[in-house]
Structure 1
Amino acid sequence: MKLKFLVPIFSLFFSFYFSQNINIEVKDTNGKPISEANVQLLKNGRTLDFQKTNDGGFCTFPLSEKGVFSLKFTSVFYKTKLVEIDTNEKLNFEVQLESQITEIQEVEIKSRPKIATAKEDTIAFNLKSVRDGTERTTEDLIKKLPGLNINENGKVTYKGNTVGQVLVEGNEFFGKNHKMATQNISANMIEGIDLWQNFNTINGNRSTAINLKLKDEYRGKVTGNIEGNYGTKNSYLGHANLFKFGKVGNLALIADANNIAKDPINFMDFYEMNTQENIENSGTNNNIDIPSFLNNDGKVKSKANQFGALQYSKSKKNITVTAFSIFNNARLEKLSTSKRIAFDGQPQNFNFLEQKKEDNRGFFGTTQIKIKKTFSDNSFLYYNFGYNPTQDNFNEDINRSSVDYSYYKVQNKTKNSSIGNFLSWNKDILNSKLIFTLSQLNENYTGDLDINSNTQLFLGNTPFLSQRYATNSNKYGFDFYFKNKNQILNFNFHSGISYKKDISDLGEVFSQAVENRTLKNYHYINDLNIYKKLGKFDISASLSSNFITINESNKHYFEKRFSIKFNPGITAISEFGLEYNTKYEIPGLKLLQYNALYTKDLSFYKNTLLTPDLLSKTDNYKFTWHRFNFEKGNNLFFMFMYSKIKPSFTTNITNYGTFSGIENTIGEINNKYIFLFANDMRFSKNYTLKSKLTGMVNKNANFISDNNNFSTIKNLELSQKISTNFRNKPLQFDLGYTFTKSIFEQSFYDITSKQDYLKLSLGIRANINKEWITNVLGEYLIQKTEQNTLKNFLLGGQISYRKEKSNFEYNLLFNNILNLNSFQYINSSTSQLGIDESSITALNGYVLGGLKINL
Structure 2
Amino acid sequence: MRVFTKSISIFLLFAGILTNSYAQNYTVKGIVLDTAGLPLPGAVVRIKSGTDSIGTSANPDGTFILSKIKQKQFTLSAAFIGYDTFSKQYIIDKGTILNITDIKLKPSSNTLEGVVISGVPPVKVTEDTVSFNAKAFPVREGDAVDEVLKRLPGIKVDKDGNVTSQGAPVTKIRVNGKDFFGTDVATAIKNLPADIIKNLQFIDDYGDQAKLTGIKTGEPEKVLNLTIEEDKKKGYFARASAGVGNSDRYNTSIRGNSMKGEQQISFDGTSANANMRGGNGDGINTRNALGLNYKNEFSTKLSADAAYNFNNNKNNTISSTYTQSVLQDADQNPINRLENAGNNSRSNNNNHWFGGNLEYKIDTMNYLKISPNFSYSNNSGNSAGGSEITQDTLSTNRQSTNFNTSNNINARTNFFFNHKFEKKGRNLTSWGNISYTSGENYRDVYNKYVNTHSNLKDSVLQNQLNNQDNRNLGLNAGISYMEPIWKKTFLEVNYNWNRSATNNSRDAYDVVNGNQVFNPNLSNIYDYQFITNKVGLNYRYIGEKLNYTLGLNVQPAILRGENLSNNIQTVNRTFNLIPSGRFSYKFSNQESFDINYWGRNNQPSFLQLQPISDNSNLQNVVTGNPNLKPEFIQSVNAHYKQADWNAGKVIQANFKYERTDDRIVSTKERVPGTVNQRTSYINADGYYTLQGDYNISKPLSSERKFTIGYSGSGQLNNNITFTDDSRIEAKNISWRQELEFRVDLKDIVNLQLETSYSQNLTNYSSDSFADRQSNRFECGIEGRNYFFKDLTFGYDFTKQVNSGFDNGAVRNPTLLRLSMEYKFMKNDMAALRVEGFDLFDQNSGISRDVFDNVIVDRQVNRLGRYFMLSLIYRVRKFGG
TM-score (norm 1): 0.77
Q: Secondary structure at the match of 1:521?
A: strand
Change (3 A) 1:739 1:791: same
Report the Cα distance in structure 1 between the residues aligned to 2:547 and 2:620, rounded to whole angstroms. Answer: 50
Q: Does 1:539 align with 2:555?
A: no
Does the alignment pair 1:585 with 2:602? yes
- Aligned counterpart, 2:448: 454
The code of the aligned residue for 2:419 comes to K
Q: For the residues of structure 2 that align with 1:557 and 1:311, how far apart are their CA atoms?
A: 43
Aligned length: 737
**What secondary structure is seen at the aligned counterpart in 2 of 1:233?**
coil
Q: Output aligned runs, 1:85-484, within 5 Å.
A: 104-106=108-110, 109=114, 112-113=117-118, 114-116=120-122, 118=124, 125-133=132-140, 136-150=143-157, 154=161, 156-158=163-165, 161=168, 165-194=172-201, 210-214=224-228, 219-247=233-261, 249-262=263-276, 297-300=280-283, 302-315=284-297, 316-339=299-322, 353-400=340-387, 405-430=397-422, 431=424, 432-455=426-449, 463-484=462-483
Compared CA separation, residues 583 and 152, structure 1 to 2 (3 A): farther
**Partner of residue 576, structure 1:** 593
CA contact (8 A) 1:785 1:828 kept: no
Question: Which structure 1 residue ranges, 5 or more long, are not aligned?
Answer: 1-26, 39-44, 52-75, 79-95, 265-295
Deviation of 1:724 after TM superposition, in Å, equals 1.1
State the identity as a percent. Answer: 11
> C-alpha deviations, 1:739-765, integer Å up to 9, x for none?
121122234651322211111112332
* Structure 2 CA distance for partners of 1:341 and 1:204, relative to 1, 3 Å: closer
Name the SS for the 1:725 alignment partner.
strand
d(CA) in 1 for partners of 2:433 and 2:412?
A: 8
Distance (whole Å) between structure 1 residues aligned to residue 572 and residue 683 of structure 2 = 19
- Equivalent residue of 1:751, what SS? coil
Is 2:806 the partner of 1:790?
no
Q: How does 1:682-693 map to 2 (within 5 A)?
A: 682-685=699-702, 686-693=705-712
- Alpha-carbon separation, structure 1, partners of 2:792 and 2:137: 17
Q: Specify whether residues 262 and 479 from structure 1 end up closer, same or farther in structure 2 by C-alpha distance, changes over 3 A only.
A: same
Matching of residue 624 in structure 1 with residue 618 in structure 2:
no
Greater Rg by CA: 2
Give 1:480 shift.
Answer: 1.5
Q: Secondary structure at the match of 1:180?
A: helix
1:810 pairs with one of 801, 817, 832: 832
Change (3 A) 1:460 1:313: farther
| CA deviation string 1:466-501 (max 9, x = no partner) | 222222111222222223456141233222323332
Seen in structure 2, the aligned counterparts of structure 1 residues 115 and 682 have a Cα distance that, compared at 3 Å, is farther
The change in CA–CA distance for 1:629 and 1:564 in structure 2 (over 3 A counts) is: same
Moved more, 743-752 or 809-818: 743-752
Aligned equivalents of 1:760, 1:212: Cα separation in 2: 31
Contact persistence 1:449–1:600 (CA under 8 A): no
Q: Tell me whether 1:845 sits opposite 2:865 in the alignment.
A: yes
Aligned to 2:662: 647
Task: Report the 3-state secondary structure (helix = DSSP H, G, I; strand = E; otherwise coil) of the residue aligned with 1:234.
Answer: coil
Indicate if the aligned counterparts of 1:135 and 1:141 stay in contact, CA closer than 8 A: no
Distance 1:196 1:839 in 2: 36
Comparing 121-130 with 507-516, greater Cα deviation is found at 121-130
Greater shift in the superposed pair: 222-231 or 514-523? 514-523
Kept in 2: contact 1:605–1:664 (CA 8 A): no
1:246 to 1:196, Cα distance in 2 relative to 1, 3 A = farther
Q: How does 1:698-777 map to 2 (within 5 A)?
A: 698-726=717-745, 728=746, 730-747=748-765, 750-777=769-796
Structure 1 position 556 matched with structure 2 position 575: yes
SS in 2 for 1:254: strand
C-alpha distance in 1, partners of 2:616/2:539?
47
What CA distance in whole angstroms lies between the structure 2 residues aligned with 1:196 and 1:835? 36
Listed as ranges, the gaps of 5+ residues in structure 2 are 1-32, 43-54, 62-80, 84-100, 215-219, 390-394, 452-457, 511-518, 561-570, 876-880
Q: Measure the CA separation in 2 of the matches of 1:181 and 1:167.
A: 9
TM-score normalised to structure 2 length: 0.75
Cα pair 2:357 2:369 within 8 Å, conserved: yes
Q: What is the CA distance between 1:111 and its match in structure 2?
A: 9.4
Superposed displacement of residue 733, structure 1: 3.2
Tell me, in whole angstroms, the C-alpha distance in 2 between the residues paired with 1:777 and 1:351: 38
- 303-312 or 837-846: which moved more? 837-846
Higher alpha-carbon deviation: 514-523 or 587-596: 514-523
Residues 43-91 of structure 1 show CA distances to partners (whole Å, capped at 9, x for unaligned) of: xx999x999xxxxxxxxxxxxxxxxxxxxxxxx9x9xxxxxxxxxxxxx
**1:303 partner amino acid:** N
Paired residues of 2:504 and 2:527 also in contact (CA < 8 A): yes
Shift of the 230–434 alpha-carbon distance from structure 1 to 2, 3 Å rule, reads same
TM-aligned CA deviation for residue 383 of structure 1: 1.7
Gap change, CA 1:709 and 1:429, over 3 Å in 2 = same
Question: Matches of 2:198 and 2:853 in 1, distance apart?
Answer: 55
1:603/1:259 Cα in 2 relative to 1: closer, same or farther (>3 Å)?
farther
1:640 partner SS: strand
Preserved CA contact (<8 Å) 1:422 1:439: yes
| Partners of 2:174 and 2:541 in 1: CA distance | 30
Change (3 A) 1:683 1:221: closer
- Equivalent-residue separation in structure 1 for 2:430 and 2:326 (angstroms): 58
Q: Who is 2:820 aligned against?
A: 799
Q: C-alpha distance in 2, partners of 1:585/1:164?
A: 21
CA distance in 2, matches of 1:641, 1:341: 29
Find the residue that maps to 2:191 and give its secondary structure: coil
C-alpha distance in 1, partners of 2:124/2:798?
37
CA RMSD, 1 decimal: 4.2
Amino acid at match of 2:764: Q
Aligned equivalents of 1:215, 1:148: Cα separation in 2: 22
Which of 175-184 and 382-391 deviates more?
175-184
Alignment partners' CA distance in 2, 1:99 and 1:183: 38
Q: Aligned partners of 2:209 and 2:577: how far apart in 1?
A: 31
Measure how far apart 1:691 and its partner are.
1.6
Q: Secondary structure at the match of 2:109?
A: coil
CA distance in 1, matches of 2:277, 2:296: 29
Aligned 8 A contact 1:742 1:754 in 2? yes
Residue type of the alignment partner of 2:462: P
Where 1:567 maps in the other structure, the secondary structure is: strand
> Which amino acid in the other structure matches residue 684 of structure 2?
G
Residue identity in the other structure for 1:792? P
Q: What SS does the aligned partner of 2:147 have?
A: helix
- Determine helix, strand or coil for the equivalent of 1:790: coil
Does the CA-based 8 Å contact 1:203-1:382 persist in structure 2?
Answer: no
Structure 2 CA distance for aligned equivalents of residues 567 and 469 of structure 1 = 54
1:381-429 Cα distance to aligned partner (Å, 9 max, x none): 3222111122332311013457665411112323321111222332221
CA distance in 2, matches of 1:531, 1:520: 35
Code of the aligned partner of 1:133:
R
